[in-house]
Structure formats: C-alpha cells, structure tokens
Structure 1
Amino acid sequence: MVRWPWRKDTATAPTSTVSDSDARPGTDDARQPTAPGAGSTQQEVRHSGNATATDGGIAVSGIYTSTVHLPPEALRPPAGVDAPAGLDDLPHRPGHFVGRGHELDRLDAALAAPGTALVQAVHGLGGIGKSTLAAHWAATRPHGHAPIRWITADSPAAVQQGLAHLATALQPALARALPDKELSEWALQWLASHTGWLLILDNVNDPADITPLIARTPGGRFLITSRLATAWNDAGTLVRLDVLEPAESLALFTRTATTQHPGRDLEGAADLCDELGHLPLAIEQAAAYLAQNPLTTPRTYLHLLAQHPAAMYRHGAATTPAERTIARIWNITLDRITHLQPQAADLLRTLAWYAPEHIPTTLADGGAADPPTRNAALGLLNAYSMITTDPTTSTLAVHRLVQALARTPDSDDPHRTPMLIDHAREQATTNLHIALPTTWNIPTTWLTWRTLLPHIDALTDHTTEETDTDTTAELLNDTAGFLRNQGLLARAIRYLQRALTTCERVLGEDHPDTLISRNNLALAYQSAGHLKSAIPLYEQTLTDQLRVLDEDDPPVLTTRYNLAGAHLEAGHLEKAIALYVQTLTDQLQVLGEDHPETLASIGGLGRAFRLVGHLDRGILLCRRALAGQLRVLGEDHPHTMASRSNLADAYREAGHLEDAISLYEQTLTIRERVLGKDHPDTLASSNDLAGAHRKAGHLKIAISLHEQTLTDQLRVLGEDHPHTMASRSNLAESYESAGDLKRAILLYMKAISTYERVLGDDYPHTFDLRRRLANVYRSAGFPDRAIPLYEKILASCERVLGREHPLTVMARDDLTDAVAERDSARSG
C-alpha cells in the first residue's frame, strides 16, 4: 500500500516500504515520502501477489516492489484538485427519446433544491427506461451540476471501480501508483471536499452497496436508478417509472424503425406496441430488428413473436448488445431473486399464466411454500419491480411482457426450462380450481366468479389442449356453467368443447366426468338454440350412460330430462312428453316428490302439455311444481323463479291474462332484486311481461317494454343471443298488433335474417317468423310477397317434420289461401 503524501507525518524517509496491513488511508501511519528530485517524486510500493512491474519496477516472486515517478501536482491533496472541463462521462444515449415529461420535471425540481446529501431515486421494471431517463435528464436539462459522473452500482466492486475511474480522471498519474481501493478512497475524499458535482448511481441492487459513499459525502448530489421499489424511503424524491403511453411507444417505434428506410410501411405497429406492453426496451429491440430487416413488417414480427417467442426475446438486431435484450435484462434480476429466495421465481412463473392486472392474492401460490414464505416471495418480487401490488384491493399486477417471457420455455435459460414452465402452468391451474366457488347460480358468488374469470380466460388463451389435465377440464366445465348462466353462450360452448376433448383424451369415453362434460356441452348448445347439435349429443350421452350406469341413476335422469326439454323446443312434442313421463316416474321412485329435480320434471311436463294444447293439465302441473319449489327451495331460487314464469305462460295461453300479468310482474320484481336488472333471466321476464300486455291489448305498454328490453339485450347479450332474437320478433308482433305494419315488416325481416344466420333455415322459430311475415304481407294486401315465404316454410316443414305434422299442414293451408287471394285479386 502506498503512503499518502498529503498526510502530515511524524518521520520522513527517502523511500519506504509497507504492506497492506501496515497502514490504512486516513491514519497517521500513512507517511509522506521525500521527493528524490525537483521534477518528480519517487515512491516504492510493495504489493502481495505475483506480477511483473514495468517503468523501472523490479519483478519478484510473491512480492514485488515498484518505483513510480509522479509529478509534483499529483501529490496535491484531493481538496486542492479542481475538476477540469470535459470530465462528464455519460453513457451513449439512444438517438430517440420520447415522453417522460412529468418525470423530467420532477427531477428538475428535486435536484435544484438546496440542501446536503440530496438523494433521488428512479425505480421500475428492468427495460422500463430508468437509465435512459437519467442520462437524458443529465445531458439535456439545465441542472447546473458539473462534473457529471456515471457509476454502474450493481455491486460493491462496481462502485469501487467507478470511484477509481473518477480519481484517475481527476489525477491520471495516480493510476500508476495506486490500486483501485486507494484510488476509490482518494475519490471519496475529493467528493467530500467539493460541491456542484452529480453522481448517477445506475442499477443499484442493494442500498448497502452505496450507503458508505453517500454517508461520507454529505454535500453531494446523487441520482439513483434501481429495479428495487421499496428500498428508498430516505430518498428526497422517489420517481416510479411506468411504461410509455401508447402514442409515445408508437412514436419511439416509428423513429427507430425508419432510421434507414423513411416512409416504409409500418401497418400493425400500434398492435405490436400493445403486444409489447409499451415497454421501452422491448419497443427499441423490435424496432431495431425491423430497421435491420426492411422486408420484415410489424405484422411479421408479431407472427414471429407468437411462433418463436424464446428466440425473439433473446435476440435483437445485429447491433443490439446481447445484454440489452429483454431476456438478458430480466435474467439478471431473476438470478438475484433466485439466489435470495427460489420460491419467488417459482411464484413469478405461476403468475405469468394469469391476466396481467387485478390478480387476487388468493392466486399467488407458487407451490408448497408456507404463508410466511409466500409473503416474503411476494415482497421480494415487488421490491424488484417484477410485480406491483395494490393494498386497497389485495391484488397484484405483472407486466404482460414479463409474463410472456416467464411462461415461454427455453432450454438454454435456467429460469425457463420446460420442466419449470410445466410446473408453473399446472400450479396456476390448481390455484384457479381451488379458488372457484362451489356453485355458479347463486348471486352471492358472482363477484368471485367475475374476479377470477379474466384469469381463467388468460390461462385458457396461453395453453393448448395438449397440455390440459383433468383439473383443467373441471375448471373449464365449472366456468362454462357460470358463463351460460350469465348468457355468455359462445364462450361457454368453447370451454365445454375443450373440456370434453380433454376428458375423452385423459379419462376415456365412459368416465363419469366425460359423460357429465358431454351433457353440459349439449345443454349449452340447447341454451344457444343449436338444437341440431344438442339433441344428438344428449342421445349419445344417454346411450353411453345406460351402458355403464343403471337406468335410474341420477346422471341418467338428468340427461333424459335435458333431452326432453330439447325435443320440446324443437317441436317434437310427443317425444318430449314420453321422456318427461319416463323421467318423472323414475325420479318419484328414486328421489321423491320434493327433490328439486323431480319438481323440475313436473314443471317441464306441465309446459309440454301446455304446448300440445292440454292447458288444464299444464296449469295443474305447473302449479304443483311451483308450490313444491316454494316449500323446498324458497321464492328466490332460480328453479322457483322459472316455475313461476312457466305458470304465467300457461295462464297466458289459457286466456287468464290478469293472472299471467300478475305472475310475470312478481317474477320480474324478484329477478331484478336477486339477479339484477341486466341478468338474462331478468330481461327474459321483461319480454314475457310485454308479451302478456300485448295479448291483453295494452299495446302502448307492450311496445314500450319490448323496446326497452331489446335495447338492454343488445347491450348485454348481443344481437345473436336467442333472447335478443326472440325480443326483436316479439316487438315486431306488437307493432303488427298496433297496425304499424311498416315497422313490423322491417323487424320481422331483420329477425328472420338473424335466425337464418345463427340457427339455420330449419329452426322452429325461423318457420314461425317466416309465417308471421307472410301473414303481414297478406294483411297489407301483398299476397305475391307472402307466397314465396309460404313455399319455403312448407318445403322446410315437410323435410324436417314430415308431411302430416301440424305445422306442415298449417303451412300447406296458408299457401293454398295465399294463392287463392292472389288469383282472386288478379281476376278481379
């Protein structure tokens, strides 16, 4: 160790030799050597280790002694050394900088404030642009600090190295005499004795690495960048850096991608920026790739990202440093996180399978860790900005690109091996399955369902059927029940199709869960009006169940009941009644009269009798079902509400309109209270009430209710939902009853077009609507327009129902009458 020439000494000698243990900088043991001549100072330095000294040094084994000649000005104490001009060493800054005006203004205000040891910290996710912001601010804003020194501060050694470089920049000759440790000490003393400088401490991993530096230089100005979010409570100003605004990220992408090829086609760039989550580093990496590959478009890059994510996250353009790619940036953080707590890395990979925002803490389970360990893992991820937490809602958020990388397997990445990715996916599936409510038709569970649904959707979108397990199938089955209850039928069908495929592959064709899944899919098809798909699926399920189960097993009874309902809606009334009777007989024997499924079958049979014209028997059975459900289930149960509506239908058909309206109003009131005004069943009750008012001649009330119901259903359910289609046709009928034939015709035409597109030409309601429109044309005196419709109805009825079916006979009579009217009009 060299003796420091700026200390007052107690003894002088021309040369002196000490070891590292003999003295420390800043102690009285450090003695000033005597200059050997007028123009230079000679020092003899002893170091441990093997080395070859140059510039007059003598090489020895194990210990070497070197003689260094320093000019007199190099021996001045740090306090007496002024910083020369041109000492700033900001790193190369990106050519394009966008946005961040608010953050720059905050740094302006904070670093201009008077005081000592002023510390500011900029924190955020790796790749968010912390270093870029710091460099841009230091280079372009009028902060008045000089010199500006940039120190990479990700370790104690790096801090020491940065200070040594500062000492060398101030006194270049010292580098020939002092090792880094002593150069660092010299720089510390210089900083402590000067003002006006700014140190940017970049990428601090541990505040302890820079605490001694800040403590010894109380007059300094420090700007810190760090991924740590929770370690800067003592900072004068804490700036949290978030992603760019969409317009800013698009501007950054456009400027970078068009550097070499101005005016190139960047169609799809906004979508690419969205996919990259508006993260600056990802935007720059993608734009640099496009700049280097002018034939690659943003759409092509999106496709590459979807098909080859591991490679695209790992590689940028040829000029992109390997350490500045998304994969490398986050791997550095994950290396440290894994070293500190491996469970945190497991948890991050699990969180990657959910939606990016509003992740309930109930889903934050990376495995078998105990709650304290899990909480510590969450805290560590939050500290390193890999997640953000919202204490007010007890939810988490993860940047979508962090998620995309964390769920992408890469055999070359120790944090993303296929085995780790598979484990995380299975853990996420298990977490969601455990968090599901036990039922989906009770309103008190709906908030939980709605909270979990985005994360179930995300898991489904990010996985494939090949990786699904029986747990996945059960998760999708249960979720589809909620979706069907809420009127989201297309999504329910997709989930059930996938669940059934998985059950068949994993469990086999005859497994009870497979049979339940097939029944559930048929029920969803039925709810959507796809009876041609529902009925064969029910029949297949029933056949398979009867092969492996007894005829009166509850699953068999359920499937037979559902099949009866499907035949009823398809107009196969005799088949429906026979199935209801068989099912009810078995249920009375096996389950008893008060069982909810038995009561449902009683109501279903009553509805069937009503549709075949046996109104008295239908009303009697509907009353019996409602009384039992009120007694067993209560008036707020969905089955009870459905039975009250069925009884109201029977009263309406029988002409008891006051009774029907009263029951419809009761049902509507209860459903609004229990289910909410926008629930599909509530809107259906509003439509039913409007229909009863129409039949009672209250046309103004009916039209007003129908118009409001249709508006709400279009908003909530969409144009293609069966309830919406029914409401449109009912409104047309009300206009027809009011004599507004022009509006009625337009609505009937729209309704027919929708039914044909969604359900097909042969759906029973499509027949009925064509007949209604044809009747309106006849009423308006246009039999020529009615005849093609009647011909189409007759052909469909004969093909689907047979020549002797009542609807076929009715269609034939309608056509005969219309032709007669036309001929009569022509002859007259």
Structure 2
Amino acid sequence: MEQDSKAITQTIQGLGGVGKTTLALHYAHTHRDAYQLVWWIHADTPEQITTDLAALTTRIHAAATGRTTAEDAEWAIGWLQTHPGWLLILDNAEHPDTTRHLLGQLHHTGRHLITSRFTDGWPTTPLALPLLTPDASLDLLTRLTGLTDPDNQHQARLLADDLGHLPLALEQAGAFIAQSRISVSVYRDLLRLHPAQTTSTAPPGSDPKRTMACIWRITLDTLRHTVPLAVDILRTAAWYAPTAIPRTLLAPLTDNPVNYAQALSQLAAYNMITLDTDTLSIHRLIQTIARTPDPATVDADPHRSHDAITRARHHATDLLRTALPDEPDTNVAGWPAWRTLLPHAEALLTATGPVHDTEDTDLLLTNAAIYLQSQGQIAQAITYKKRSLDTSTRLHGHDHPSTLTSRNNLAGAYQAAGDLGRAIPLYEQTLTDGVRVLGEDHPSTLASRNNLAYAYRAAGDLGRAIPLYEQTLTDRVRVLGEDHPSTLTSRNNLAYAYESAGDLGRAIPLYEQTLTDGVRVLGEDHPSTLASRNNLAYAYRAAGDLGRAIPLYEQTLTDRVRVLGEDHPDTLTSRSNLAGAYQAAGGLGRAIPLYEQTLTDRVRVLGEDHPDTLTSRNNLAYAYESAGDLGRAIPLYEQTLTDRVRVLGEDHPDTLTSRNNLAYAYESAGDLGRAIPLYEQTLTDRVRVLGEDHPDTLTSRSNLAGAYQAAGGLGRAIPLYEQTLTDRVRVLGEDHPSTLTSRSNLAYAYRAAGDLGRAIPLHEQTLIDRVRVLGEDHPSTLTSRNNLAGAYQAAGDLGRAIPLYEQTLIDCVRVLGEDHPTTRVVSANLAYAKSTNQLP
C-alpha cells in the first residue's frame, strides 16, 4: 500500500470513562492489517512514554539489548523515523506537553492516535467523544445484564440517568449486576447507600484501576499540583444540582477573580466540568464520588478524605445561604434568583443527611420552605419545615427559641395546607412552651397567641378566636406600645375576626383606626398600610357600601402598582378584589376583563398550580356564571376542581369549596342529577374535615337544602333549612349575616310549600333584622324587601306588595344602579304585580 509521507495525528478527547480507550482499541483491532506495526503507549507521564518506547525496542529485537531504558527508547524513535506504516496509540495523555517531544521527532511517517481528558493545545482539532444517548445506555446495560423484563428495563433507564450515561460506569454496573445475579434496582440501592464502595469496586476479571473513582483521581492529582483551587471548586459544586450552577455562586471560594477564572478553565480543559458564559455543569457521577469519603485504607483517595468533604459541604451550604435573597415570601425582586438557586438548594438538602444538618442548613431549610410556601408548593414546604424542627431540636433542645420558631413555622405550613387538625395542637403546644420558657409578654409569645387565634378563626371557632385576639391586642399595646407594627397587625386581625362573626359595627371602626394609625406610623406606601386599605375596602363591601368600597379598592390597586409593581402578588390580589367589587355592583362588563387579566398574570407570575392562580380560575368561573355564561363557567369550575384535588388534595378547604361551586353551577344549569350528589358529597366531606359546626359546613347544608327544594323535594329541604338556621343561631349568633340568610331561605321554602302563615312573619322578621344589622341600603336588605313583597303578593295582598316593590325598586336604582341584576328582578316583579292588579 502507498505510505503517508507525513505523520497524521488524531486526538480523541473526553471525560474520563467516556470510552476513549475503548474506541482507540476498537480502531486498532479493526485496522490492524492496514499497518506494519501497531504499538500502544501509556502516555500518562513522560516517564511512562519512555518505558513503553523501550519495550518496543525489546519487541523488535526479541532479545535484551543491553542498553538503558532511555537508550532503548531513543533506538525505537530512530526505528520509527525510518520505517513508515505504523500506528502509535498514546493513551490517556495528560497534556499536550506530555507528547510534544515525541510527536516532534515523528512528524514525517506513520499515524498517531491520542486519547486524553484534556481539551486544548493539540496539533489538530480533537474529536470530542460525547456521553451515550439514553437509548444507547439502555441497550448497553441490557446486553451486559441480559435482563429484559419490564421492571428491570425501567430500572435500567433510571440507573443510566444515575450514572449520567457514562460508558465505563455503565459497563462497570452491568458487569457487576450480571456476575452478582442481582436486579438493577438492587444495584441502584447499593449505589445510593454505599456510593464509595460501589464506584471503587471493579467487577471480577476487570482492571481494578479502571473504575470511576480511580480514573478521576489521576486528574485531581494533576489539578491539585497545578491549580489547587480547582479541586475545592469541584468538591463544593458536587453538592449542587449537576447543571446550570451559576458561576457567581462559587466565586467567593477565592478573593482573586483571575485565579477563579483559571481554575474553572482548567476544570473545563480536563472535562471535569462544562463551562458556559454564566454557568457550569458537572457530571452527576463525578458529584457522587466527589462528595463521598473514600474508606480509610492504605491507598485511600486523598481528595476524598472525610474532613475535606465535610469542609466542602459546609462551604456549599454557606455559599448558597448567602446567595439566596432575604424575605423569600415578599421580596418579589428576589424571586428570579430563588428560581435559579432553588434546584441547587434542593440538591444540597437531598444529598446532605439530616444528621449532618447545621445551623446554616437550618436557615437554608427555613428560607427555602418559606419561598416554596409562597409559591404554593405546600407539601415540599412542610417536608423542609419538619426537618428544620428536627434539626433545631437536635441542635438546641425542645425549649430553645429557635425550636419554638420552627414549631410555629410548621404549624403555619399545616394551616396553609388546610390541615388544621395538626396545625392547632402544634400552635397550642408552641404557645404553652413559649409562655413557660420566654414568659407571657415576650414578643414571640404574643406572636404565638396571635397565630393560634388565626387558626381558631380558620377552623370557624370564633368563640375561641376573638377572645384570644382581644387578649393579644391588649398585651401588645401594653408591652410594645400603641404604634408598634405588631400592635397594628393585632388590631387588623381582631377587626377581621369581628367581620367573620358578622359584627361589622365593631369591625369597620377598628379597620378605620388601623388604617389611620398605619398611615401615621408606617407611611402611606408601606405594604402594611396598603393591606389595611384593602381590608377596609373589603369590610365596606361586606356592609354593602360599594360606594366607599370601590374607590378604596381602586386607590389600593393604583398604589400597589406604583409601590410594589404590576406583578407583585399583593397587586394581583388587589386586581382580583376590585373585580369582585365591580361584580357585586352588577358591573360584570368591568369585572370579567379584570378577572381574566388577573388569571393571565397569576399564571405567568406564580404558575399554573399556585393556590392563588386556582382561586383566580374559580373567581372567573363565578363571574361567567353570574353573567349567565354557563358554557364557559362549568368547564372552568371542573378544571379548577381537578387542579385543586391534584395540587392541594381531596380534603383541602379550597378543594371542598370548588366542589360546592361546581355543584351550584350544575344546579344553575338545571342539572340537578349532577348537582345534588355533589352537594351531598361536599357536605359529608366538610363534616368529616371541618366539623359539624364550621361555617362552611353550615353553608353546604343550606346549599343542599336549596337543591332539594329546586328538585321539588320540600319535604327534605325544609327540615334541612330549619336545622341550618338552628345551628347558625347557636354557632354564629342571631345577627350574623349568614344566620339572616338562613332565616330568609327558610321563609322562602315555607312560601314555596304554601305555608304563608309561617313564611310572611319570617320574611318580616328577616327584613327588620337586616335593616337593624346591615342597614337600609345593604343589598341583602333590598333582597329581603323584595322577598316580603313577593310573600304579600302570594297572599293576594297587593295593597302591601306593590308599594313595597316600588320602594324597593327606587332604593335598588339609587344604591345598585339601573342595570344591577337585583334591580332588574325587582322591576320585573313590580310589573307583574301591577299587571295582576288591573281591573277587568
């Protein structure tokens, strides 16, 4: 064959274990007949190259030469210079400098095939050997193990991911599985539970130096002598997620940015990391080995000592904790950084056993849980808060303030998940311990009392919530002063409890006082002041005073946009609240676009599954329903219910609300066959989850009675209405708006049953009570007046019915406007009453 007149050099470059040596061996075997000589040289060091060249001389002479190793190597070079048609394989060349002297002497004849982990500086552009594809990895494991059943195939795909699709690791694992006759899942358990031994043990019959741990140790030896910082970076990065590690995260490991850039470039040059402009990535198996101490043996890996890895874990935790923004639930500007860094926090917390958690780890757990809870990821937040409580208890004891705070935080996460059965006892325990350890008047004790009151209110137990709120407010005024922000919070919370009890006469003045104080103490634009303004607007709306509620909602939205930004969660809440006020005023033309905008914004800012996003979807469905567009409302309700079941769980209060709302939509569509079973299921679930006396349970009972009535089942509806009224009087009180609604519903059912003797007095009493409690102009008062007129009409007493309709219509036009649905209903009733009153 025609010989080359000039030597040809090809370099195969890639991560240790990617298959460079195997590819070179395959090439030599396949093309051995094309060369007069094929010779393998271990090119790790210049000394090893010299030794293997000397061995070539011995092979050619087939006898001892009597020369030194160096002389034999020189003789071999001379032979190669005068004999074309050879192939030299220089395997695992540490650096181009290692082979440069030899290649310079053999540049006229033959071929050089070089394998190396190093990237740059080769005579020709290296051939980069990539990792295997997932399908190729599965095929390799299947051929090695012979396991083809579905379970082992599924586990083999997972194992390939665990090993990062690295051929040597896959070969090592496959051979071990085949020779040990174990399943793939058992090997995965060994890798997880005993990573040091699993990655360091070669299968019988294979080269013990060709394991993942051994081949990377060589590279780290080189880096330790040239760029020691690179080894520290690698050990620290091993605790993070394998991809998209921000370069800025690891930069504080040195105060010299030039040294940092050099260390990263050397790690990339040796294929230990992949480097982008802003981030770096590291093979997951390198991470496993780098963070796993080598067993204490004579030949233990010095790069994987227990102390070095412990220091790296502490560095990784401290760097991450420092890089994460403060106030993770309210600092929206910091959320992009949280989204970038959270995968690395999760990876660190997963790789670090709880027994190794430190105070820094505890802070990381706490802040990550707060962020996750703010993003609606409650289950993960609970997991981290449980671990934080365990860590704080182990580090400080049961009575340390940090432990009490962790217990309070966990209770808050349970409450956010709707699990009041676990939240309330934990709050109670925290308060008891706080009183004993810190004293009655410590700010943390007062905070615990406030939180417990909040949980009681969420459970519908206003009988315990309100006195506790009142006590907390009194104590905060005494201990902290009238103007302390926590005192203002207590005043706001007490107002909200009064509002929940239907006592707007006490709630509204307290809200007004809180807003005035907030403006004076904190300023017009403080987030707490904006929250107070929102809450006061809500109370005005509850009182039916939309004339004051809507301008206040509009002002709050404008201020939140200006102060917090368009996308802040509080701004999105204001937009939703304003839409609700427009809807209550009958302005669906303004409400629906605002609801749609809020939903779009919450999906974009918070994500599809955030609880606030699900609430927006529910609100929009309700607006569509109010507009009579059940074709859009029902699918949206169905989607919201499905999503809440998936995200929050079957028993979360919001899920139960969705089930109730969907049943109501089915009822509105006349589909009682689907509505009634759903109402019944919701009532059963609310009794089980919330208890017999929870306000939501009472609402479910009332709604089910309404559905029975709509189906013509007054025999079942009236007893249920009567029971609900009795329960609401007992639980909420005679004057609660919901109690008044129950009285109205029962009167309407009596009227439908033809029992006007009981209906009319009950309608009259309800109207008197609503005027006294809610005021002359409240929408519910206007509805009562319309209902009483209808009862008079049904009794044939048009002399009282028509004047009452006329007065009600005038008031509706004045209070609600010409186009409000209630106004239109009253107008139609009046027209009908007048038509039936005409003489023949």
TM bin, normalised by shorter chain, reads: 0.7 to 0.9
Q: Indicate the residue corresponding to 2:40 in structure 1.
A: 150
| In structure 2, C-alpha distance between the alignment counterparts of 1:438 and 1:779, rounded to whole Å | 49
SS of structure 1 residue aligned to 2:114: strand
**Which of 104, 114, 117 pairs up with 1:224?**
114
SS of structure 1 residue aligned to 2:209: helix
**Which of 139, 142, 154 pairs up with 1:254?**
142
Note the 1:521-536 alignment, pairs <5 A. Answer: 521-536=410-425
Note the 1:447-526 alignment, pairs <5 A. Answer: 447-526=336-415
Q: Indicate the residue corresponding to 1:50 in structure 2.
A: none
Q: 1:195 to 1:630 in 2, by over 3 A?
A: farther
| In structure 2, C-alpha distance between the alignment counterparts of 1:346 and 1:546, rounded to whole Å | 47
Alignment of 1:281 with 2:168, yes or no, is yes
Q: Indicate the residue corresponding to 2:54 in structure 1.
A: 164
> CA deviation digits over 1:336-375, x for unaligned, max 9?
4445566654443332111112323454389899888767
Note the 1:332-371 alignment, pairs <5 A. Answer: 332-338=218-224, 344-364=230-250
SS of structure 1 residue aligned to 2:280: strand
| In structure 2, C-alpha distance between the alignment counterparts of 1:773 and 1:261, rounded to whole Å | 49
| In structure 1, C-alpha distance between the alignment counterparts of 2:681 and 2:116, rounded to whole Å | 77
Alignment of 1:424 with 2:308, yes or no, is no
The answer as to whether partners of 1:250 and 1:270 remain within 8 angstroms in 2 is yes
Count the aligned residue pairs. 710
The answer as to whether partners of 1:500 and 1:517 remain within 8 angstroms in 2 is yes
| In structure 1, C-alpha distance between the alignment counterparts of 2:8 and 2:662, rounded to whole Å | 81
> CA deviation digits over 1:298-328, x for unaligned, max 9?
3333233223323321234333321222122
The answer as to whether partners of 2:217 and 2:301 remain within 8 angstroms in 1 is no
Q: Indicate the residue corresponding to 1:551 in structure 2.
A: 440
Give, in angstroms, the shift of residue 722 of structure 1. 3.8
Give, in angstroms, the shift of residue 477 of structure 1. 0.9
The answer as to whether partners of 1:775 and 1:786 remain within 8 angstroms in 2 is no
Give, in angstroms, the shift of residue 738 of structure 1. 3.0
Residue identity matched to 2:319: N
TM-score, L = length of structure 2: 0.73
The answer as to whether partners of 1:787 and 1:815 remain within 8 angstroms in 2 is no
| In structure 2, C-alpha distance between the alignment counterparts of 1:551 and 1:422, rounded to whole Å | 42
The answer as to whether partners of 1:771 and 1:789 remain within 8 angstroms in 2 is no
- Name which of structure 1's ranges 367-376 and 649-658 shifts more when overlaid on structure 2: 367-376
The answer as to whether partners of 2:57 and 2:72 remain within 8 angstroms in 1 is yes
Residue identity matched to 2:209: E
**Which of 279, 282, 285 pairs up with 1:401?**
285
Q: 1:482 to 1:174 in 2, by over 3 A?
A: same
**Which of 273, 293, 301 pairs up with 1:414?**
301
SS of structure 2 residue aligned to 1:225: strand
Note the 1:253-332 alignment, pairs <5 A. Answer: 253-258=141-146, 266-293=153-180, 295-332=181-218
- Name which of structure 1's ranges 403-412 and 584-593 shifts more when overlaid on structure 2: 584-593
Unaligned 5+ residue runs, structure 1? 1-82, 86-111
| In structure 2, C-alpha distance between the alignment counterparts of 1:738 and 1:207, rounded to whole Å | 76
| In structure 2, C-alpha distance between the alignment counterparts of 1:824 and 1:574, rounded to whole Å | 33
Q: 1:774 to 1:685 in 2, by over 3 A?
A: same
Give, in angstroms, the shift of residue 472 of structure 1. 1.3
The answer as to whether partners of 1:480 and 1:492 remain within 8 angstroms in 2 is yes
Residue identity matched to 1:409: P
Note the 1:351-750 alignment, pairs <5 A. Answer: 351-364=237-250, 378=264, 380-390=266-276, 392-393=277-278, 395-411=279-295, 412=297, 413-415=300-302, 416-440=304-328, 441-615=330-504, 617-626=506-515, 629=518, 638-657=527-546, 660-664=549-553, 681=570, 683-699=572-588, 702-703=591-592, 706=595, 721-740=610-629
> CA deviation digits over 1:411-454, x for unaligned, max 9?
14334344443333233223323333343222333333233211
SS of structure 2 residue aligned to 1:267: helix
Residue identity matched to 2:162: E
Residue identity matched to 1:584: L
SS of structure 1 residue aligned to 2:126: strand
> CA deviation digits over 1:628-648, x for unaligned, max 9?
555665676543443343233
Q: 1:290 to 1:564 in 2, by over 3 A?
A: same
The answer as to whether partners of 1:202 and 1:224 remain within 8 angstroms in 2 is yes
Q: 1:189 to 1:819 in 2, by over 3 A?
A: closer
> CA deviation digits over 1:488-545, x for unaligned, max 9?
3222221111001111111111111111111222222333333333222222212211
SS of structure 2 residue aligned to 1:176: coil
Q: Indicate the residue corresponding to 1:243 in structure 2.
A: 131
Residue identity matched to 1:309: P
Residue identity matched to 2:392: C
> CA deviation digits over 1:4-51, x for unaligned, max 9?
xxxxxxxxxxxxxxxxxxxxxxxxxxxxxxxxxxxxxxxxxxxxxxxx
| In structure 2, C-alpha distance between the alignment counterparts of 1:240 and 1:727, rounded to whole Å | 51
Q: 1:424 to 1:764 in 2, by over 3 A?
A: closer
The answer as to whether partners of 2:411 and 2:426 remain within 8 angstroms in 1 is yes
SS of structure 1 residue aligned to 2:582: helix
| In structure 1, C-alpha distance between the alignment counterparts of 2:566 and 2:177, rounded to whole Å | 51
Q: 1:761 to 1:124 in 2, by over 3 A?
A: closer
| In structure 1, C-alpha distance between the alignment counterparts of 2:31 and 2:562, rounded to whole Å | 60
CA RMSD of aligned residues (A): 4.4
SS of structure 2 residue aligned to 1:364: helix
The answer as to whether partners of 1:774 and 1:787 remain within 8 angstroms in 2 is no
The answer as to whether partners of 1:363 and 1:428 remain within 8 angstroms in 2 is no
Q: 1:312 to 1:667 in 2, by over 3 A?
A: farther
The answer as to whether partners of 1:175 and 1:183 remain within 8 angstroms in 2 is no
Q: 1:210 to 1:515 in 2, by over 3 A?
A: same
Give, in angstroms, the shift of residue 474 of structure 1. 1.7
The answer as to whether partners of 1:250 and 1:273 remain within 8 angstroms in 2 is yes
> CA deviation digits over 1:177-225, x for unaligned, max 9?
4333222112222344565654332212244432321333343554432
Unaligned 5+ residue runs, structure 2? 717-752, 755-840
> CA deviation digits over 1:751-805, x for unaligned, max 9?
67877884666949837964883696389484996499469749956996666x8
SS of structure 2 residue aligned to 1:159: helix
The answer as to whether partners of 1:791 and 1:815 remain within 8 angstroms in 2 is no
The answer as to whether partners of 1:748 and 1:773 remain within 8 angstroms in 2 is no
| In structure 1, C-alpha distance between the alignment counterparts of 2:537 and 2:383, rounded to whole Å | 34
| In structure 2, C-alpha distance between the alignment counterparts of 1:716 and 1:123, rounded to whole Å | 43
More helix by percentage:
2
| In structure 2, C-alpha distance between the alignment counterparts of 1:84 and 1:810, rounded to whole Å | 95
Q: 1:384 to 1:492 in 2, by over 3 A?
A: same
Q: Indicate the residue corresponding to 2:69 in structure 1.
A: 180
The answer as to whether partners of 1:355 and 1:454 remain within 8 angstroms in 2 is yes
The answer as to whether partners of 1:749 and 1:773 remain within 8 angstroms in 2 is no
Q: 1:669 to 1:243 in 2, by over 3 A?
A: farther
Give, in angstroms, the shift of residue 257 of structure 1. 3.8
Percent identical among aligned pairs is 46
| In structure 2, C-alpha distance between the alignment counterparts of 1:386 and 1:493, rounded to whole Å | 36
SS of structure 1 residue aligned to 2:544: coil
Q: 1:195 to 1:766 in 2, by over 3 A?
A: same
Note the 1:199-210 alignment, pairs <5 A. Answer: 199-210=88-99
Residue identity matched to 1:421: I
